[in-house]
Amino acid sequence: MSKVIGGIFTVIGFILAAVNIMLYLNSSAYFNYTPTGIAPYIDPTKHLSFFETGLGVPAVITFLMLSIGLTFLFVSKEPNLK
């Protein structure tokens, strides 16, 4: 049963990692947004930090789920019922 739990955590962790990577690549921590007419006084070279964009905590949770899933998947032993 622990291999099943490890597999579920691993799959969910990989999906969350892909979502977090896509969100990071579309955030102001990665892009260099140019100012428009709305707020031209903002410095276009200013990048927000990883935690200021709100992606830090989900990334930590994703890393924990992925590491727990991989640990359960590779360390657990299932009994051979024959």
Q: Quote the tokens at residue 44.
A: 């276009």
Q: Does the pLDDT of residue 50 top 90, yes or no? A: no
What ranges do the domains of the chain cover?
A: 2-74
- In Å, how far are 9, 20, 74, 81 from 6, measured between CA atoms? 5, 20, 8, 20
Calculate mean pLDDT across residues 57-67: 94
Residue 12's Cβ-count burial label (10 Å; 0-12, 13-18, 19+) is middle
Q: Does the pLDDT of residue 61 top 70, yes or no? A: yes
Q: Which of 29-33, 44-48, 64-68, 76-80 has the highest mean pLDDT?
A: 64-68
Closest Cα partner for 61 from 30, 25, 15?
15
Q: How far is CA 30 from the centre of its chain?
A: 15
pLDDT per residue over 2-21, tens digit each?
889 999 999 999 999 999 99
